[in-house]
């Protein structure tokens, strides 16, 4: 990969050890993927925040970078392993809380915005069409690519952090226009679409290919759900929806393979996801709930009585929570409003064995990352369990 004189100097350590480490990482990535050069980024979003997922090894890496490095573009963080204010109510141990706070402090020293959320595009880090980004978090980067029309690869946490420190990323993959074209047409034949099930069925069928959807008209929140489920069931980092997403070009689909998804595929997806019954935890907000979703939940629950004894979590970002305090008060009589974290990256396995969710992404991760049996329900189905 070609490096400018300035980039060579960073690699030689002239901007300190942290920047040198970051540049080494970018050069290694660039060489692996045969990038020709580094290109400037407008922002970064980092995964690798929860103590449950990065442990002491991750802390060591962050501490060494935080000695003398700083990010030089707007950079945000994925959910951490606990609600930073109400971790005791979540049953988090003091030791876990201490190590988690330390991780967030390290990111803070690096200059990162520490509002921990997987929906930065809803408030703290809003990308624009055509911008080059280095985003980790599979659901967020797919949303940025597909719904916004910004450009990012499916970064890992260290690669995104290195890019944030240098302000550049290797130019390969989805940064190049020719790699953003659809490779398979997905024709949806459904009267009513459950976007978690559709995302799961589509992701399982297409893997990492770029789908071009026909037959759906999703809202912004439904696109968020679809992006997350496809990123988890497959490894989709970019998708197009005819008439909806900015880069969907009907001319680009000629001659492509076509897949049809209908009712039977949704039933098959549901059966695959559902592995348990009698949930001990009912969790909504994967990806983090938006203001509109919180308003919708509050309007459906207002005036109703709480029933059942499963614990209930509504996961969102602190930024979103600050915009709808009255609605959150309604939700609070049905469960806990959990900020900064989610049902996957906090150690729920220490307290629960069966979790119910409406998220296609959470359904994929709950068994392996949290040792949970899973109950899948639509949002309305979950609300019926608690009201
Ligand atoms: Fe977000 Fe956690 Fe789901 S990070 S996308 S709520 S698994």
Residue closest to 224 by CA, chosen among 285, 297, 270: 285
The ligand 1 atom nearest the CA atom of 79:
4
Find the DSSP H helices in 186-309: 195-206, 220-233, 263-273, 291-301
The ligand 1 atom nearest the CA atom of 365:
7
Going by alpha carbons, the residue nearest to atom 3 of ligand 1 is 286
Q: pLDDT in tens for each of the 387 residues of the chain?
A: 999 999 999 999 999 999 999 999 999 999 999 999 999 999 999 999 999 999 999 999 999 999 999 999 999 999 999 999 999 999 999 999 999 999 999 999 999 999 999 999 999 999 999 999 999 999 999 999 999 999 999 999 999 999 999 999 999 999 999 999 999 999 999 999 999 999 999 999 999 999 999 999 999 999 999 999 999 999 999 999 999 999 999 999 999 999 999 999 999 999 999 999 999 999 999 999 999 999 999 999 999 999 999 999 999 999 999 999 999 999 999 999 999 999 999 999 999 999 999 999 999 999 999 999 999 999 999 999 999
CA of 15 to the centre of ligand 1 (A): 35
Instruction: Sort 127 into a burial class: Cβ within 10 Å, 0-12 / 13-18 / 19+.
Output: buried
* Dihedrals phi, psi of 139, to nearest 5 degrees: -75, -40
CA distances from 327 to 129, 132, 276, 305, 322 (A): 31, 35, 31, 16, 11
Q: Is 228 in the pocket of ligand 1 (CB under 6 A)?
A: yes
The ligand 1 atom nearest the CA atom of 343:
2
* Residues 25, 157 contacting (CB under 8 angstroms): no
Q: What is the pTM of this model?
A: 0.98
What the chain holds in terms of domains, given with CATH numbers, is 5-177 (3.30.499.10), 181-271 (3.30.70), 274-386 (3.30.499.10)
Going by alpha carbons, the residue nearest to atom 2 of ligand 1 is 342
List the beta strands (DSSP E) in the chain.
Answer: 38-40, 43-46, 75-77, 113-116, 133-135, 168-170, 184-188, 211-214, 240-241, 257-261, 281-289, 311-316, 336-339, 354-357, 373-376
Q: Is 116 in the pocket of ligand 1 (CB under 6 A)?
A: no
Going by alpha carbons, the residue nearest to atom 4 of ligand 1 is 118
Residue closest to 211 by CA, chosen among 193, 221, 219, 223: 223
């Amino acid at each position: 990969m070609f490096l400018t004189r300035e980039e060579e100097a960073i690699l030689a350590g002239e901007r300190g050890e942290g920047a040198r480490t970051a540049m080494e990482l970018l050069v290694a990535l660039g060489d692996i993927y045969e990038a020709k050069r580094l290109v400037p980024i407008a922002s970064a979003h980092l995964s690798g925040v929860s103590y449950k997922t990065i442990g002491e090894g991750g802390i060591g890496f962050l501490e060494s970078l935080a000695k003398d490095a700083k990010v030089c573009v707007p950079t945000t963080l994925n959910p951490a392993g606990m609600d930073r204010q109400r971790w005791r109510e979540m049953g988090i141990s003091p030791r876990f809380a201490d190590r988690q706070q330390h991780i967030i402090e390290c990111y803070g020293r690096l200059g990162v915005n520490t509002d921990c959320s997987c929906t930065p595009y809803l408030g703290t880090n809003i990308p624009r069409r055509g911008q080059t980004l280095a985003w980790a978090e599979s659901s967020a980067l797919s949303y940025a690519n597909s719904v916004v029309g910004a450009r990012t690869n499916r970064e890992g946490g260290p690669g995104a952090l290195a890019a944030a420190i240098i302000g550049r990323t290797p130019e390969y993959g989805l940064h190049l226009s020719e790699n953003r074209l659809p490779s398979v047409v997905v024709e949806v034949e459904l009267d009513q679409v459950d976007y978690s099930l559709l995302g799961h069925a589509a992701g399982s069928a297409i893997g990492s290919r770029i789908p071009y959807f026909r037959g759906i008209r999703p809202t912004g929140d439904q696109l968020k759900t679809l992006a997350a489920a496809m990123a988890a069931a497959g490894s989709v980092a970019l998708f197009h929806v005819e008439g909806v997403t900015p880069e969907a070009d009907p001319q680009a689909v000629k001659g492509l393979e076509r897949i049809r998804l209908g009712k039977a595929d949704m039933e098959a997806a549901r059966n695959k996801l559902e592995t348990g019954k009698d949930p001990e935890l009912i969790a909504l907000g994967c990806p983090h709930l938006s203001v509109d979703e919180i308003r919708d939940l509050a309007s459906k629950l207002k005036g109703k009585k709480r029933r059942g004894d499963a614990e209930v979590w509504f996961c969102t970002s602190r930024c979103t929570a600050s915009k709808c305090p009255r609605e959150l008060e309604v939700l609070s009589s049905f469960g806990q409003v959990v900020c900064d974290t989610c049902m996957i990256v906090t150690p729920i396995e220490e307290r629960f064995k069966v979790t119910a969710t409406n998220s296609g992404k959470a359904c994929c991760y709950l068994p392996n990352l949290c040792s949970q049996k899973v109950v899948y329900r639509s949002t309305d189905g979950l609300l019926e369990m608690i009201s």
